[in-house]
């Protein structure tokens, strides 16, 4: 992967973090999961298990899960 690609991907992640923060502000949503997302997208680490639902290849899609425990 070229240095330019890495730089652009980091910039894209920074944009994603800003969008999440803006949406949290507009929705007046200040929950732990939202802050977890901001922290994750603000760091350089990668966590394959970051998503709170199983990966598509592992079974259920997000819309098929029981959302009873959502904030």
Residue 52 in domain:
yes
Condensed to tens digits (0 to 9), the pLDDT of residues 16-53 reads 888 888 888 888 777 888 888 888 888 888 888 887 76
pLDDT band at 61 (very low <50, low <70, confident <90, very high): low
Q: Indicate the number of domains in the chain.
A: 1
Residue 70 in domain:
no
| Residue 19 domain boundaries | 3-64
| Cβ contact 18:41 at 8 Å | no
Residue 58 in domain:
yes
Residue 25 in domain:
yes
| Interior angle at CA 57, CA 52 and CA 59, nearest 5 | 65
> Computed from CA positions of residues 59, 61, 62, 64, in that sequence, does the dihedral angle turn out positive or negative?
negative
- The answer to whether the predicted template modeling score (pTM) of the entire model surpasses 0.75 is no
Residue 22 in domain:
yes
Reply yes or no on whether the pLDDT at 8 is more than 90. Answer: yes
Residue 19 in domain:
yes
Residue 30 in domain:
yes
- Which residues are within 8 A (CB) of 55 and not within 5 positions of it... i.e. 6 or more apart? none
Predicted pLDDT of residue 6: 92
């Amino acid at each position: 992967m070229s240095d330019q690609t890495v730089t652009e991907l980091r910039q894209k992640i920074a944009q994603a973090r800003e969008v999440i923060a803006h949406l949290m502000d507009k929705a007046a949503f200040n929950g732990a999961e939202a802050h977890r997302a901001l922290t994750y997208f603000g760091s350089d680490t990668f966590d394959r298990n970051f998503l709170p639902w199983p990966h598509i290849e592992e079974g259920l899609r997000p819309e098929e899960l029981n959302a009873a425990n959502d904030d």
